Structure 1
Amino acid sequence: MDQIDSLHWYALRTKSRHEKVVRDQLDKQGIEPLLPTVKRLSQWKDRKKEIEVPLFSGYCFVRFAQHDKVPVQKVTGVVEIVGSGSRPEPIPEEEIDALRRLMTSVLPYDPHPYLHEGMRVEVVRGPLQGVHGVLLRKDKRHRLVLGVHLIQQAAAVEIDVRDVMPS
């Protein structure tokens, strides 16, 4: 089997709140979907209910061979297959395996912003809420060192990773 015919995982960008619809349609067509979900407590006026929501809002994963691209694109709710230009870009198998292991583990998990060194970030909680800076270091203790430019000087602060979002 050559590269074109082999199965690879891809990310599908979906219309808002269409992730489960896309997953179910792919499944019906015999195309393997993967939709990581997380349980959330939803509050209505009269009651609370636990619901399952997508871990990555607006995305569903799918495994297909390159020649099956058209049926995947035609699924209701699919906006695009994520990639560069008009070419879908495969997701490494180990990333999908890691997601599957997370989904089957008993550990609690939640979505988290994708952060990397050099990224502009904003503090969203705590005494520095609203401050913008550059993420200088992401270390093992899940702490961040944030560069804040004050009068063309830099100040570094250790801050909890949960208090920072990309800006």
Structure 2
Amino acid sequence: MSSSEQMQWFAMRATYRRGMQIKELLDKQGISNFIPMRYEMQEKNGRKRRILVPVIRDLIFVRAVQSELQWVKDRNPYLQYMIDVRNGQKIIVPDEQMRQFIAVAGTYDEHLIFFSPDEVNLRKGMKVRIIGGDFKGYEGIFIKVKGARDRRVVISLQGIIAMAMATLSPDLVEVIKE
């Protein structure tokens, strides 16, 4: 690791459904990572079970310095950088944005609704800050989302994934003036 490198959150793909395998490998090496998960009911041999599954297959966020991640990537051909199609650069998520995303997605709350970026039009909403409750201080876009009767606060990560939080009381949300 060179002294000029800094820890960053890289958006990555673990191809061929190897996300959990890559996560285990990164955990063993002490490299921070996060896979957004949710509970799902699955039936096996006539019995229903509630199991934790990735929200988006193959998506994994890895916090590392570039050289360390490249070393891991060189030894694992199934781990690939996600590239921003607009500029051809690796997608790096800012620490604060990732911290908020993990804090919300890491609750495995069944009221969270996940979307691909093209499923929600964030331009139609207004930027808000949550001023009370468990997610006080978090920011997002307040919009009507598919699959919900009311407006929700949506936290979005740079064209990778968007997440609508549980319904919030209007008195817990304040509009951020641009």
In structure 2, what is the equivalent of residue 113 of structure 1?
116
Q: Could you tell me how far 1:17 is from its partner in structure 2?
A: 1.9
Q: Could you tell me how far 1:23 is from its partner in structure 2?
A: 0.5
The runs of 5 or more residues in structure 2 that have no matched partner are 127-141, 149-178
Give the paired residue count. 129
Matched, 1:162 2:147: yes
Structure 1-normalised TM-score? 0.62
* Distance change in 2, residues 1:45/1:90 (3 Å): same
8 Å CA contact 1:12, 1:79 repeated in 2: yes
Q: Could you tell me how far 1:106 is from its partner in structure 2?
A: 7.1
In structure 2, what is the equivalent of residue 88 of structure 1?
90
Q: Could you tell me how far 1:56 is from its partner in structure 2?
A: 2.3
* Distance change in 2, residues 1:137/1:5 (3 Å): closer
Deviations 1:38-88 (A, max 9, x none): 111111242111111112221111011122132231354634112357753
In structure 2, what is the equivalent of residue 148 of structure 1?
none
* Distance change in 2, residues 1:31/1:104 (3 Å): closer
Structure 2-normalised TM-score? 0.59
Larger radius of gyration: 1
In structure 2, what is the equivalent of residue 102 of structure 1?
104
Q: Which has the higher strand share?
A: 1
Q: Distance in 1 between matches of 2:47 and 2:77?
A: 30
The one-letter amino acid paired with 1:96 is M
8 Å CA contact 1:116, 1:138 repeated in 2: no
Q: Could you tell me how far 1:3 is from its partner in structure 2?
A: 8.3
Deviations 1:104-136 (A, max 9, x none): 447432422323549xxxxxxxxxxxxxxxxx9
CA RMSD after TM alignment? 3.1
Q: Could you tell me how far 1:21 is from its partner in structure 2?
A: 0.5
The one-letter amino acid paired with 2:115 is H
8 Å CA contact 2:36, 2:105 repeated in 1: yes
